[in-house]
Structure 1
Amino acid sequence: MAIKEYPFYLKTTVVLFGLILLVYVLAQLEDILVPLAFAGFLSVLLNPLANRFQKMGLSHFLAIMLAILVAALGVAGVFYFLSSQIAGFGESLPMLKEKFGVITHDLKALIAQTFNVPVAKQERMISDALNNSQTLLGGALGGLLGVLSVVFLLPVYIFLLMYYKTLILNFLYEVFAEENSKKVGEVLKETKGAIQSYIVGLLIELIIVAALNSAALLLLGVKYALLIGVIGAILNLIPYLGGIIAIALPVLMATVTKDGYTTQLGVLGAYIAIQFIDNNILVPRIVSSKVQINALISIIVVLLGNMLWGVSGMFLSIPFIAVIKIVFDRINSLKPWGKLLGDTIPTKHMGQIWSKPKKEAVGIK
């Protein structure tokens, strides 16, 4: 019986509506899927530690609980450090606010003199911009509440995913035909390795970048160098966009606390050098080499992740697209999409290869 071939425009329309429906479902189920996605990645990361505890004689339950406790203590240590630094920052906040007000007043006067825009009109424009940004602030608050819900749900999800790991793996094997079990095993193995090496690489990169940022700011005499350096390293985890935002913090602090522009120029030079080291040495060698996503796709998926799930979506976008690439590379019909996501650039495009004239066959007389 012949299989009916549908027109291209009809298949494209069906695929488009399917994608729209998928995005709608993902957006509506954000509060459930975001903590579940983070828990999935973190449970893969903590699984080797739980296995090691289990080999030491602990039960499956206790091994998982101890692995989660170790991770929680590490996160608590980071938050304790940041809170102690923020407490000192809060004491200087009135002085910084006063200095910032003086700088803002001088800047308004300079704009009025240079561009002939009255101060009153500038203040009215700022007021209008603040009023129009209420929706954005509401979205940011919603994003913050979403992050808090992730924090509270994460331990529960991580424990359950690790506890039922064997059940989930058996389901993934059984849901596909037996002849595909080898491919399923390869996809699961590569996915686990990519997630583990990617997250561990990010943590190592975070520590190194935080140390470099803090050292540079301390040498330049910027106040609260440790706090700003660590926050900048955390923002740097957002691919391509976080590093740009991180530069603004020390520049603003130097502007408020110091006279002249020497320190600001020093901060810009130091951060550009750190970004160069990060992008050309740390990321290629420390962050997972298995997550080979090209820069164009990385920027696009980070922006799409922000539109879909906010800050959480920006963090999840790269490992998520890396998992999709691993699956695409294992399915023949989807291999072109896997190549599109990757960072391997071919020397010639297929049109040049296909358009080469074939050599004429030499006939035998």
Structure 2
Amino acid sequence: MFDVFSRWYKDRFSDPHAVTLGILLLFGFGIIYFFGSLLAPLLAAIVIAYLLDWPVNSLQKYGINRTGAVIFVMLGFVGVAVLAVLGLLPTVFKQGANFVRELPYMLNQAQGYLLTLPEQYPEMIDAEMVSTLMDNVRNKLISSGEAIVSFSLGSLINIAALLIYCILVPLLVFFMLKDKVVLMQSVTRFLPENRQLAGQVWTEMNSQIINYIRGKVVEILIVGIVSYVVFAVLDLRYSALLAVLVGLSVLIPFIGAAAVTVPVALVGMFQWGFTSDFWYLMIAYGVIQALDGNVLVPVLFSEAVNLHPVSIIVAVLVFGGIWGFWGIFFAIPLATLVKAVVNAWPSDKATQQAA
């Protein structure tokens, strides 16, 4: 057993560049795992800086110095963010509160329909099972809704922290964009000399992360706006709230779309019953999801490494379980990182062939 482990170790860690890459990966994952909650503003700032670096570089091509370009882009970003928050959040919050209040009535209506199923299919569905299921769902949703709409001292503390982050994050983004070269050089000074393999993986991943963040933000905006227009045309209640949920659902591949289908269908059934309007809503929602998965995603992420759906779902479950929201957001880039490291990691056989 020891000989097998020894041969494996020599085969995989004979290259000092590979050892450096392994140490850097363990250090990075360890920092995020143990201090991820403390570094949340920094992670948010890095994501926004990746997003805004492209317009800054574009302005520099027109002869504007980097500081001026950064100031111009930051003013535009902050202005758009403030308008979006002031225009969208109050409506979404109001609709969310109304949705929570009417949720028990929606569940009662859904239960009434489900209780008719045992009469139609007595051999397959049991009435007691349906009642128990609906009671459990009702209790879970109502308790979650009450937690959302109720304000406690802890909520006020979270709001205060959020206000602080609203100041810290833009400052971090400004200096990350303005002093990008200086910060990168400062970080490079502390890295080991044998970092050729790490540099190769970072070059590939840097391009992947840039494309992923930009594409994901554009996808959220397009899916959210299109969903709102469709819901508003159909005169669906809670259209803004549901559109925001549908837009954010693209953060979780496959699982997000399936999860958001439940509130969309529940609101439509509560508002119209099983009429033609309800089926129009579900068909339109299905078309949006189909266009997103088969047209929008291939266009936006055409340069992304092809990953199997099983790999994506496993990445969402693993990294989401470890790092929460940020793990879900970066699940695909992290899965791509794992794939890039596995492909780039040298073996003793590869070294011998190269020699």
Same fold (TM over 0.5): yes
Q: Aligned runs of 1:18-29 on 2, under 5 Å?
A: 26-29=32-35
Aligned residue number for residue 157 of structure 1? 172
- Give how far 1:214 is off: 2.9
Aligned residue number for residue 6 of structure 2? 7
Work out which of the residue numbers 188, 191, 196 in structure 2 matches 1:180: 196
- Tell me how far apart the structure 2 counterparts of residues 123 and 204 of structure 1 sit (CA, whole Å): 37
Deviation sequence 1:209-243 (CA, Å, 0-9, x none) = 23432343344432233442243122223222111
- Give how far 1:283 is off: 0.8
- Give how far 1:206 is off: 2.5
Moved more, 280-289 or 86-95: 86-95
Q: Aligned runs of 1:89-104 on 2, under 5 Å?
A: 89=95, 96=102, 99-100=105-106, 103=109
Work out which of the residue numbers 146, 162, 170 in structure 1 matches 2:185: 170
Evaluate the alpha carbon distance shift between residue 208 and residue 130 of structure 1 in structure 2; reply closer, same or farther with a 3 A threshold: closer
Q: Aligned runs of 1:104-253 on 2, under 5 Å?
A: 106=112, 115-117=126-128, 145=158, 148=162, 153-171=168-186, 175-177=191-193, 180=196, 184=199, 187-253=201-267
Query: Which residue identity lines up with residue 128 of structure 2 in the other structure?
Result: V
- Tell me how far apart the structure 2 counterparts of residues 282 and 232 of structure 1 sit (CA, whole Å): 15
- Give how far 1:44 is off: 2.5
Aligned residue number for residue 332 of structure 1? 346
For structure 1, the 5+ residue unaligned runs are: 337-365
Aligned residue number for residue 85 of structure 1? 91
Preserved CA contact (<8 Å) 1:291 1:319 = no
Moved more, 193-202 or 302-311: 193-202
Preserved CA contact (<8 Å) 2:249 2:260 = yes
- Tell me how far apart the structure 1 counterparts of residues 140 and 180 of structure 2 sit (CA, whole Å): 50
Q: Aligned runs of 1:281-360 on 2, under 5 Å?
A: 281-326=295-340, 328-333=342-347
SS in 2 for 1:7: helix
- Give how far 1:310 is off: 1.8
For structure 2, the 5+ residue unaligned runs are: 11-18, 149-153, 351-355
Aligned residue number for residue 49 of structure 2? 43
Deviation sequence 1:1-34 (CA, Å, 0-9, x none) = xxx99536999xxx9xx99998665333121333
Work out which of the residue numbers 268, 284, 289 in structure 2 matches 1:254: 268
SS in 1 for 2:324: helix
Query: Cα RMSD between the aligned structures?
Result: 4.8
Aligned residue number for residue 358 of structure 1? none
- Tell me how far apart the structure 2 counterparts of residues 132 and 211 of structure 1 sit (CA, whole Å): 30
Query: Which residue identity lines up with residue 44 of structure 1 in the other structure?
Result: Y
- Give how far 1:200 is off: 2.2
- Tell me how far apart the structure 2 counterparts of residues 21 and 47 of structure 1 sit (CA, whole Å): 26
Evaluate the alpha carbon distance shift between residue 103 and residue 6 of structure 1 in structure 2; reply closer, same or farther with a 3 A threshold: closer
Evaluate the alpha carbon distance shift between residue 165 and residue 188 of structure 1 in structure 2; reply closer, same or farther with a 3 A threshold: farther
Evaluate the alpha carbon distance shift between residue 61 and residue 110 of structure 1 in structure 2; reply closer, same or farther with a 3 A threshold: same
Moved more, 311-320 or 77-86: 77-86
Preserved CA contact (<8 Å) 1:305 1:314 = yes
- Give how far 1:276 is off: 1.9
How many matched pairs? Answer: 322
- Tell me how far apart the structure 1 counterparts of residues 251 and 105 of structure 2 sit (CA, whole Å): 31
Preserved CA contact (<8 Å) 1:214 1:225 = yes
Aligned residue number for residue 71 of structure 1? 77
* Aligned sequence identity (%): 21
Preserved CA contact (<8 Å) 1:209 1:278 = yes
- Give how far 1:312 is off: 2.8
- Give how far 1:275 is off: 1.9
Q: RCO higher in 1 or 2 (8 Å CA, sep ≥ 6)?
A: 2
- Give how far 1:41 is off: 3.0
- Tell me how far apart the structure 2 counterparts of residues 47 and 157 of structure 1 sit (CA, whole Å): 13
- Tell me how far apart the structure 2 counterparts of residues 21 and 187 of structure 1 sit (CA, whole Å): 16
- Give how far 1:309 is off: 2.1
- Give how far 1:278 is off: 1.4
Aligned residue number for residue 342 of structure 1? none
- Could you say which structure has the larger radius of gyration? 1
- Tell me how far apart the structure 1 counterparts of residues 317 and 295 of structure 2 sit (CA, whole Å): 25
With structure 2 as the length reference, what TM-score do the two structures score? Answer: 0.68
SS in 2 for 1:177: coil
- Give how far 1:284 is off: 1.1
Aligned residue number for residue 13 of structure 2? none
Preserved CA contact (<8 Å) 1:35 1:154 = yes
Deviation sequence 1:238-261 (CA, Å, 0-9, x none) = 222111122222212112222335
- Tell me how far apart the structure 2 counterparts of residues 131 and 122 of structure 1 sit (CA, whole Å): 14
